[in-house]
Structure 1
Amino acid sequence: MYKKIIPFINCENELPVNVISEAVQYEIGGADELFVYNYSKDEASREEFLGAVKEITKHIDIPVYIGCYVERFEDVKKALYTGASYVMIKYSLLKNNNVVKEASERFGNDTIILELEDYKDIHNKDFIDIIKDLGVYALLLKHVELTKDLTDSINSLEIPVIIRDSLSSNDIASLLEPVTVLGISTNYYKNKDMFKVKLSLKAQNIEVNTFDSSIKFSEFKLNNDGLIPVVVQEYKTGEVLMVAYMNEEAFRKTIETGKMTYYSRSRSTLWTKGETSGHYQYVKALMLDCDKDTILAKVLQIGPACHTGNGSCFYTELVKKEYDDTNPLTVFNEVFNVILDRKKNPKEGSYTNYLFEKGIDKILKKCGEEATEIIIAAKNPDSEELKYEISDFLYHMMVLMAECNLDWSDIVKELAHRR
């Protein structure tokens, strides 16, 4: 298993918009996971923090650790319902160990991490046995002095360890060396390129998460100019953004930096997409076709891909035959966007606006009625009726989603976690 770099953000007294922006920068900078925390006991502050984490998990794909004040099982449930993958609990603030046990039994023993103020507890075998019995996934140790005695103790643990450190006096390679150390949580790499750090760690034979091509460039089939075409696609929507070319140096730089880098045929030089406009393309996946002569790049596109300001370079329509776009997510998003537009811009005579005006109770009543209609229709041998009833239910469900400030990305992400 590779060692992880896990930046942390203290969200106390921070504006959510700033935290979200920082989280996105950490992800595109090469972070493996992210740790955000606010251990305030104030209920209003906690709710605001949970709302901010929900937004963070919408904007980034890497797993999120959420550190918050936990007093009861419901606190853990609320924390995980933000979309976070792990809950970080300060052991010094924990009043009831059974909360951890109940949470690990409900959500799995790979979700709860204990943050220890006094890492000397790890020398106590009875303590380690207790937390293992509670279903704790890992421990977080803060600001350690990595003596031989402590290193031996960490290595002897049967539970993973995350070390939180400012890296002002400790070397990251030394901290990652113990076998049981899962990763380093730090704020040292704010506004820094973690891909370079990982390449340095890799050179020291430390397994880290970097881009590595499964096929050597020498095996690619190049054109007469020694180049390979690259079709660039937005990773979430599948929209084709542009076509460019790479030589071996451009391919290598793309792998090393995580930013799409191409070879300009007109200028005979390398160029990193976005280096002048800021519209970078961050690598999500690179795929080679069956003939090994074309690369498909799935990317996170910042801003428009085209120099004209269009989202895609393919905006000039040549010929078109009318057809129905039946891609499920496209259809769901289009219908949902109409519903959102009705909520923001009411239209007289709109049934959707009627539901919003009547409020949550009316919307819930209609969802219940439509669910019942599905059950009745399902007993009928003719599936046509069932098709209509399911469509009615999905529409009313989307109105409910809009009323409760959810969208399809929330639902899809939750389903993806369950997958």
Structure 2
Amino acid sequence: MPGSVISLADRYACEGADGLYLYNFTGDEKSREEFLATVRQIEKKIDIPFYVGIYVARFEDAKKALYTGASMVVMRKALLPVDKELQEITDRFSKDKLALEVDMRADFMTAEQLDEYYELGIGTAVLKHIDTTPSFSDTIAQTKMRVMVRDGLIRNDLAEILSYDTVSAVLTNYFEDKDIYKAKKALKKKNVDVEVFESLIDFSDFKLLDNGLIPVVVQDYRTNEVLMVAYMNEDSYKMTIDTGKMTYYSRSRKKLWLKGETSGHFQYVKSLMIDCDNDTILAKVRQIGAACHTGNRSCFFKELAKKDYVSTNPLTVLMDDYDIIMSRKNNPKEGSYTNYLFDKGIDKILKKCGEEAVEIIIAAKNPDAEELKYEIADFLYHMMVLMAECGLDWNDITKELVNRR
């Protein structure tokens, strides 16, 4: 079911996976479209790279896969498109966007054979059903292709596979119900180069309160919203580093407190920073559910005093304006120009976007930037109406921009 796949992908992303391999090599077009729709939903949830393995018969198939936000499209060697279509794909997309999945048991390939595909324009080899033999070692050591290994880790050992200098990743479902951070810590102890949390400053260098604790300010990593303030001692800090989940010291209960242990509202660490005096930690986290025990998203929801002001944070302004547009779409208001556009439909919205784009070009020829400023704002409004009509939001756009860096 798509929902369970999306939840599993989100859990992997939260609990320490460095990337995801999502695949469906069926030749049925309906099934393929349903799979890509699920991938697009996953892309909205996760913040780690992902690769899409899919049946590719023509250029459009590869394009659709990459346009989900995938870092790479993976094509099976046994299902490669005809030469003309493959050439169009490799001409259009760079080597780092294309991968070849090879069943080494059914069709063992030498470095020379892999390099033929590299010269065609495919930069990565995803090798499955491997045996860690000298011939396998020689092949991956000599090929020009970047190598990933797809393995269930039933016969092969994870540390051994990753010990090969040329293996950049292992793609496996072995850790679906296991502690990924614990496994990565074990790999680190074996001098395998994996990404784990490591404190760059020793806890003994922190300036603690008289009770031996240090305050922690917790923010949402995407919005920078302040969620809560809590405290850590040395043990809770170490556990946070070891598990990737925010763990505090409860002053009232006099014990360690894993945030979300009873509620399920875990806080997954994105970054930990310390202030100039080493006496306060700033944690940026992926918050699951509510941060506050009252059920509110943030503990800071009680207003004490306020002065009206205009926020000019670009993303805040654009997201607030988009939310108003979506509100009009979902709750029509009589006399609203936004609702007029929605009522007229996509052709009217596209016409207005085109007109406003032309207005920008005309205004840009004027030495006075005031008119240009107005026209750009007008275009952005109509573009957001188009986004709302087509089911996109600013998170979709910003993630796509990040993918293009």
TM interval, shorter chain, is over 0.9
Secondary structure of the corresponding residue to residue 162 of structure 1: strand
1:263 has 2:249 as partner? yes
Mapping of 1:1-400 within 5 angstroms?
Answer: 15-97=1-83, 99-118=85-104, 123-400=109-386
Secondary structure of the corresponding residue to residue 110 of structure 1: helix
Q: Distance in 2 between matches of 1:136 and 1:415?
A: 24
Change in Cα spacing, 1:104 to 1:226, as seen in structure 2 (3 Å) is: farther
Q: Distance in 1 between matches of 2:160 and 2:354?
A: 58
Q: In structure 2, what residue type is equivalent to 1:371?
A: A
Q: Distance in 2 between matches of 1:324 and 1:54?
A: 35
Q: In structure 2, what residue type is equivalent to 1:390?
A: I
More RCO (CA 8 Å, sep 6+): 1
Deviation at 1:98, TM superposition (A): 5.4
Number of residues paired by the alignment? 405
Contact 1:66 1:87 in 2 (8 A): yes
Q: Distance in 2 between matches of 1:407 and 1:340?
A: 10
Contact 2:111 2:140 in 1 (8 A): no
Deviates more, 1:31-40 or 1:332-341: 332-341
Q: Distance in 2 between matches of 1:234 and 1:150?
A: 45
Deviation at 1:163, TM superposition (A): 1.4
Q: In structure 1, what residue type is equivalent to 2:39?
A: V
Gaps of at least 5 residues in structure 1 are 1-14
Secondary structure of the corresponding residue to residue 31 of structure 2: helix
**What is the match of residue 5 of structure 1?**
none
Deviation at 1:72, TM superposition (A): 1.9
Deviation at 1:358, TM superposition (A): 1.3
Q: Distance in 2 between matches of 1:285 and 1:99?
A: 44
Which digits, 9 at most, give the CA deviation of each residue in 1:241-283, with x for residues without a partner? 1111111111111011000011112222111111111111000
Gaps of at least 5 residues in structure 2 are none
Q: In structure 2, what residue type is equivalent to 1:335?
A: D
TM-score under structure 2 normalisation? 0.95
Change in Cα spacing, 1:171 to 1:129, as seen in structure 2 (3 Å) is: closer
TM-score under structure 1 normalisation? 0.92
Q: In structure 2, what residue type is equivalent to 1:372?
A: V
Secondary structure of the corresponding residue to residue 306 of structure 1: coil
Deviation at 1:149, TM superposition (A): 2.8
Contact 1:25 1:191 in 2 (8 A): no
Deviates more, 1:384-393 or 1:22-31: 384-393
Deviation at 1:96, TM superposition (A): 2.8
Q: Distance in 2 between matches of 1:33 and 1:378?
A: 43
Deviates more, 1:304-313 or 1:88-97: 88-97
Deviation at 1:294, TM superposition (A): 1.1
Q: Distance in 2 between matches of 1:123 and 1:409?
A: 41
Q: Distance in 2 between matches of 1:99 and 1:166?
A: 32
Q: In structure 1, what residue type is equivalent to 2:257?
A: W
Q: Distance in 1 between matches of 2:110 and 2:258?
A: 52
